[in-house]
């Protein structure tokens, strides 16, 4: 694929645009393993920033990392009935090891509850050992036939938290706390504000009592299930005999949670902010926040321009992730285009005349309000304003995404015909009443491909939520948010 | 296992001692998957420190992280003849996916050359794309029947570097550079000084032109192959058709390297420093460097002692990893023992009388020279000296390990009878002449279980290396280092 061919416009074919962006920004590449992608260094650097931020938030709330086995005996996966029913069709199974057929096949983890609980059971004797707050960064395999980079792949990277508590209330509080951490991370770091809430019985995690989810809206007005947090009740502790002695000296099963977010977040980042040129990265998750592109013809020019570029880099290096692109094999125009395609927030161009005038050209990847995209500035002035500019861009991206989400959200809708029309045209989030019946969920999905993303948390609910179910007209039990989703 | 039962003494049964230490320090635990262990939070925290240090050294030398697929089609693994011969007997094979038999089985990576090269081939067109310097942090599966925590397990965590270069010289320089980085890491961070050098043909990596290795000596005088770096020549680039256009416009195969270190390093750390009480951690890799244990009876005492403990923690927090152990469920003696077993370098004890006197008891996990193990000090004096004390302990551990290694190394040995006697008794590193013949390697191994660990690098060679082969008496081609190994 030629690197200067234009992308398919986002508004013309969102799906084609997405695939082209992730490939041409060098986030991923295809592999000889069907459904498995390689995460290239630029994509992995974004993942490292995501990991660093989330890991810090997990540790600040008392969680510790550990590492559990990749391979799960089939019999363990089968212990929790709903769980195996949900995951069995997606498993990759090892039947041969060391040249021999195995007596019991081993499943590559599609999630780790079934191996974590039999092990952690041994670490819990009494209430003194609770809460047990564990997280794992790991690879996961789920057999998928229709794959899309980051959004749905045979193998992906994620973190999975697994916690045990003495009471139902504590487990519920933990599940809610982790949902809040994911939401805060998406807002503060990703500039990708989600609607949060609870999943319906039909949509919840296989084996959970309750599933909570963060659902940001992509630029095609679809929802992305971007992170989930599950209150597992006592389902897994009963299946795996995880008991403890209470303070009163009795025996009870622990109350557990699990919660996860994956490399899918990178797909969300792309679909939230990108444009027809390519990737746009919020500064906090940009591996390179500022790229300095020196412009020169002669070798004398080269020396003086690179000296200035290096001086700027050194001034910024402490607080900003900055790179000088000193490759002699590309001309400046090609470099500009490459870094725009890769979503670097700010470019500094510096040529011989800039050096002579003590100035630099500051070019923004994206402009908000009436700011200029390209501004010549004194070198020290530019250095002094860059951190603030990155913060402004971070905030601007968040505001833009929030504004877009709300512009494409519909509240107070009572007419199912109108509902179907919106879903078949622009799409978006439609808040309606719902009777609580799975038949209505199925009917709406069959009619429109939309599903209930969440029963929204209080702060997302409408002031005047309709009191009738959008599908059957019976009394509503909950306001719900419908959308087509990834 | 009761936590206050004494360990099997190290000198009595090193292997039993090792297994007890790693379990009782809560580094690992057994799992329902034969041969697979769980790395518990305390063990994983050590791994995170190792990762952080190595990752920083890799990035400082221009390497970038990426992530390649876990599953490798069997046909790809078979492309390099020596490689498949070496790894085939150890593979775990996925034959079922999504409920169906696979047309082509997928092997869980035992190392990633066979999946990385077909992918990276697409990233390399010309000399401008070289060198390509990639690293991956990943899990690996090698089917092992006889497993030992960290040293040999069915699944383990590691990093694997994979690089491509335009010339043989650059690939050789890279392989040597990475060996040097591993050596420096082991010396500076692990206080585990290795002997370095080249492996013989018999001992090298399956598919390498040359393998270099770091071989620190454990306390039972055995060698641990702790990290290896391979110059792969053009073997993999020929097998996977990784070609590039040279500056002169011709086409050539790239020259490649790979290099890796794993969670095995944690086993090395344990076997290098531990004692009959349990783990001893070099401060740079100690998740907790200083633990503060408050001592109190009444609740009034508790308040004032905890206040002082928290004040000390806050003073140290910036530069030292410090923890206040404020659990009410254990008495101070049990806490002392737990943290000694877990190898925390320094313990601060503080009771009501200490608070009144403005002092604290400083207790070292290990003492060098004529220092006192337990010293009462003024609070601010203790705070001021702790960083220096940790540095002293780090240096002391390194010196002690180096001294032990050299005391158990034998040079200038010419008599095979004496060689066999040493190997059957104390063991150690024996430097001898060697004719270069594989028959002599095999004979010595059959007689003594010792193998050639390395053909040592110049700085490790003897001034008066014997000029005859220790086994056959023919002329020596190289001085070599023999030892029994893990």
Instruction: Give the pLDDT band (50/70/90) at residue A82.
Output: confident
Q: Best interface-test mutation with B: which of A1, A3, A33, A109 has the largest number of B CBs within 10 A? A: A33
Model confidence pLDDT, tens digit, residues B107-163: 999 999 999 999 999 999 999 999 999 999 999 999 987 889 999 999 999 999 999
Q: Best interface-test mutation with B: which of A66, A86, A122 has the largest number of B CBs within 10 A? A: A66
User: Is A119–B94 a contact, with Cβ atoms under 8 angstroms apart?
Assistant: no
CATH code 3.30.930.10 region(s) in chain B: 14-273
- Do A411 and A433 contact (CB within 8 A), yes or no? no
Q: Which residue has the tokens 């002669």?
A: A298
pLDDT at A83: 80
User: Is B94–A108 a contact, with Cβ atoms under 8 angstroms apart?
Assistant: yes
- Do A449 and A456 contact (CB within 8 A), yes or no? no
Chain B residue numbers touching A138 (CB-CB < 8 A): 139
Find the CB nearest A94 among B43, B108, B122: B108
Average pLDDT over residues B192-219: 96
Fold of the CATH domain A409-483: Translation Initiation Factor IF3 (3.30.110)
How many whole angstroms separate alpha carbon A50 and alpha carbon A39? 14
Model confidence pLDDT, tens digit, residues B285-339: 999 999 999 999 999 999 999 999 999 999 999 999 999 999 998 999 999 999 9
Which helix (H) or strand (E) element contains residue A350? Answer: strand A346-350
Query: A283-393: which CATH architecture?
Result: 3-Layer(aba) Sandwich (3.40)
- Do B451 and B429 contact (CB within 8 A), yes or no? no
Instruction: Give the pLDDT band (50/70/90) at residue B1.
Output: very low
Which residues are CB-contacts of A126 (< 8 A; sequence separation ≥ 6)?
Answer: A244, A245, A246
Rg of chain A over Cα atoms, rounded to whole angstroms, equals: 25
CA A260 centroid distance within chain: 10
Cis amide prior to B135 (ω within 30 degrees): no
pLDDT at B265: 98
Percent of chain B with pLDDT over 90: 93
- Do A486 and A223 contact (CB within 8 A), yes or no? yes
Average pLDDT over residues A429-446: 97
DSSP β-bridge partners for residue B262: B158
pLDDT at A4: 59
Average pLDDT over residues B178-184: 98
Average pLDDT over residues A180-208: 96
Q: Best interface-test mutation with A: which of B31, B46, B325 has the largest number of A CBs within 10 A? A: B31
- Do B312 and B349 contact (CB within 8 A), yes or no? no
Find the CB nearest A33 among B37, B71, B157: B71
How many whole angstroms separate alpha carbon A413 and alpha carbon B359? 70
Enter the tokens of residue B409.
């190394």
Rounded to the nearest integer, the mean pLDDT of chain B is 96
pLDDT at A371: 84
User: Is B118–A32 a contact, with Cβ atoms under 8 angstroms apart?
Assistant: yes
CA-nearest residue to B39 within chain A is A67
User: Is B66–A134 a contact, with Cβ atoms under 8 angstroms apart?
Assistant: no
Burial of B342 (0-12, 13-18, 19+ CB in 10 A): buried
Distances (CA, A) of B358 to A445, B322, B377, B414: 70, 19, 9, 63
CATH code 3.30.110.30 region(s) in chain A: 409-483
Average pLDDT over residues B424-431: 97
How many whole angstroms separate alpha carbon B470 and alpha carbon B464? 14
HEC assignment per residue over B192-219: CCEEEEECCCCCCCCCCCEEEEEEEECC
pLDDT at B370: 85
Enter the tokens of residue B332.
């101070």
CATH code 3.40.50.800 region(s) in chain B: 288-396
Distance from CA of B36 to the nearest CA of A (A): 6
Residues in chain A: 486
How many whole angstroms separate alpha carbon B51 and alpha carbon B48? 5
User: Is B38–A98 a contact, with Cβ atoms under 8 angstroms apart?
Assistant: no
User: Is B155–A66 a contact, with Cβ atoms under 8 angstroms apart?
Assistant: no
Find the CB nearest A94 among B45, B68, B93: B93
- Do A210 and A175 contact (CB within 8 A), yes or no? yes
How many whole angstroms separate alpha carbon B215 and alpha carbon B483? 10
The alpha helices in A166-220, defined as continuous H runs, are 168-188
Asked whether the predicted pLDDT for residue A5 surpasses 80, the reply is no
Q: Report the interhelical angle of A438-448 vs A416-424 (nearest 10°).
A: 40
CATH superfamily of B288-396: Anticodon-binding domain (3.40.50.800)
pLDDT at A329: 87
Where residue A483 falls (left for φ over 0; alpha for ψ -120 to 50; beta otherwise) is: beta
Q: Best interface-test mutation with B: which of A3, A30, A58, A94 has the largest number of B CBs within 10 A? A: A94
Enter the tokens of residue A245.
């002695």
Model confidence pLDDT, tens digit, residues B51-92: 999 999 999 999 999 999 999 999 999 888 888 888 888 999
- Do B434 and B228 contact (CB within 8 A), yes or no? no
- The phi and psi torsions of A41 (rounded to 5 degrees) equal -50, -40
Model confidence pLDDT, tens digit, residues A93-115: 999 999 999 999 999 999 999 99
Distance from CA of A253 to the nearest CA of B (A): 20
User: Is A92–B71 a contact, with Cβ atoms under 8 angstroms apart?
Assistant: yes
Asked which of A138-147, A153-162, A417-426, B256-265 is least confident by mean pLDDT, the reply is A138-147
pLDDT at B4: 59
User: Is A44–B32 a contact, with Cβ atoms under 8 angstroms apart?
Assistant: no
CATH for the B14-273 domain, from 2.40.340.10, 3.40.50.720, 3.30.360.10, 3.30.930.10? 3.30.930.10
- Do A94 and B107 contact (CB within 8 A), yes or no? no
pLDDT at B2: 44
How many CB pairs below 8 A link A and B?
168
Asked whether the predicted pLDDT for residue B3 surpasses 60, the reply is no
Enter the tokens of residue B280.
């001893």
How many whole angstroms separate alpha carbon A441 and alpha carbon A453? 11
Percent of chain A with pLDDT over 90: 93
Distance from CA of A327 to the nearest CA of B (A): 10
A240: nearest Cα among A139, A123, A161, A137 = A123
How many whole angstroms separate alpha carbon A477 and alpha carbon A90? 34
How many whole angstroms separate alpha carbon B118 and alpha carbon A33? 11
């Amino acid at each position: 694929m030629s690197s200067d061919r234009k992308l398919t416009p986002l508004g013309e074919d969102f799906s084609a645009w997405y695939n082209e962006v992730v490939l041409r920004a060098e986030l991923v590449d295809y592999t000889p393993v069907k459904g498995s992608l390689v995460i290239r260094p630029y994509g992995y650097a974004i993942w490292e920033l995501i990991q660093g931020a989330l890991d810090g938030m997990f540790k600040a709330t008392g969680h510790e990392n550990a590492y559990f086995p990749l391979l799960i005996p089939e019999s363990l996966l089968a212990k929790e009935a709903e769980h195996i029913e949900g995951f069995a069709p997606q498993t990759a199974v090892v039947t041969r090891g060391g040249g021999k057929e195995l007596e019991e096949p081993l499943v590559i983890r599609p999630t780790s509850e079934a191996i974590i609980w039999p092990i952690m059971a041994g670490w819990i004797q009494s209430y003194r050992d609770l809460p047990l707050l564990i997280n794992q960064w790991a690879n996961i395999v789920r057999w998928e036939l229709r794959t899309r980079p980051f959004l749905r792949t045979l193998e992906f990277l994620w973190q999975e938290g697994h916690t045990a508590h003495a009471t139902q209330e504590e487990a519920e509080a933990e599940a809610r706390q982790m949902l809040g951490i994911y939401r805060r991370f998406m807002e503060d770091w990703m500039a990708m504000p989600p609607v949060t809430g609870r999943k319906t019985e039909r949509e919840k995690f296989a084996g959970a009592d309750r599933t909570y989810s963060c659902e940001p809206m992509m630029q095609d007005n679809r929802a992305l299930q971007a992170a989930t947090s599950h209150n597992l009740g006592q389902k897994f502790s009963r299946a795996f005999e995880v008991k403890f002695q209470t303070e009163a000296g009795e025996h009870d099963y622990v109350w557990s949670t699990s919660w996860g977010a994956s490399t899918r977040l990178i797909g969300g980042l792309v679909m939230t902010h990108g444009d027809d040129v390519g990737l746009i990265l919020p500064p906090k998750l940009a591996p390179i926040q500022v790229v300095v592109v020196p412009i020169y013809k002669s070798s004398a020019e080269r020396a003086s321009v690179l000296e200035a570029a290096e001086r700027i880099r050194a001034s910024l290096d402490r607080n900003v992730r900055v790179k000088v692109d000193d490759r002699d094999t590309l001309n400046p125009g090609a470099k500009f285009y490459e870094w725009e395609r890769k979503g670097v927030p700010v470019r500094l161009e510096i040529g011989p005349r800039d050096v002579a005038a003590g100035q630099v050209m500051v070019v923004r990847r994206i402009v908000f309000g009436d700011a200029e995209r390209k501004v010549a500035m004194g070198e020290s002035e530019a250095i002094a304003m860059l951190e603030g500019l990155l913060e402004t861009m971070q905030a601007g991206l968040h505001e833009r995404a929030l504004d877009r989400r709300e512009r494409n959200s519909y509240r107070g809708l009572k007419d199912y015909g109108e509902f179907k029309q919106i879903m078949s045209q622009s799409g978006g989030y439609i808040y309606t009443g719902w009777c609580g019946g799975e038949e209505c969920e199925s009917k709406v999905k069959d009619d429109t491909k939309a599903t209930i993303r969440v029963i929204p948390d209080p702060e997302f609910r409408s002031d005047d939520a309709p009191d009738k179910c959008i599908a059957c007209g019976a009394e509503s039990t909950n306001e719900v948010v419908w959308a087509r989703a990834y």
